[in-house]
Amino acid sequence: MPIPGRVDGNSRRMTVRVNVSSDAGEYREMVFEVDTASDMELALPIQDIVELGLEQAGNIDYRSNGTSHDMPRYVAYVEWHDGHIPVYVVETDRPAYVGMGLIWDSYLSAYLFPNGAVTVSRMVHWDDIKREAEEE
């Protein structure tokens, strides 16, 4: 099932709606900006991390704008391409965003005009098609 989103007409940023949970239980739908320059999976403001009750899973060496610093890393679960998967979350002081760490190996499409549709779909690989044909 594709992950839906929109292009914000004011900021011209792509956003997607992703269901997030602290324990693969009850999910909360959240809106994330798409940041193709980030290799992180998810980034959330600290108040969202606290509200979701995410547990810290160590630290990560985070590099930004030529500097490096240690920052906490948390674990969340997301509904992603018909499955529930664990992802790492880092803190951000800007709006929540999804980075290439999560959308990698997906097909991202966007109609780039105000309120245009954004979709993240599961990438189908030749190996998957071949395996499914062999299983039939």
**Eight-class DSSP state of 65:** T
Q: How far apart are CA 32 and CA 82, in angstroms?
A: 18
Q: How far apart are CA 93 and CA 48, in angstroms?
A: 11
Q: 85 has which bridge partners? A: 78
Other Cβ atoms less than 10 A from the Cβ of 39: the count is 12
DSSP H helical ranges for the chain: 46-52, 100-103, 126-135
Q: How far apart are CA 29 and CA 3, in angstroms?
A: 11
Q: What is the pLDDT of residue 66?
A: 64
Per-residue pLDDT tens digits of the chain, which is 136 residues long: 889 999 998 888 999 999 999 986 789 999 999 999 988 999 999 999 999 999 999 888 766 666 667 889 999 999 999 889 999 999 999 999 999 999 998 999 999 999 999 999 998 877 777 777 788 7
The domain locations on the chain are 3-135
Q: How far apart are CA 77 and CA 89, in angstroms?
A: 10
**Confidence (pTM):** 0.83
Query: Tell me, which fold does domain 3-135 have in CATH?
Result: Cathepsin D, subunit A; domain 1 (2.40.70)
Q: How far apart are CA 115 and CA 3, in angstroms?
A: 16
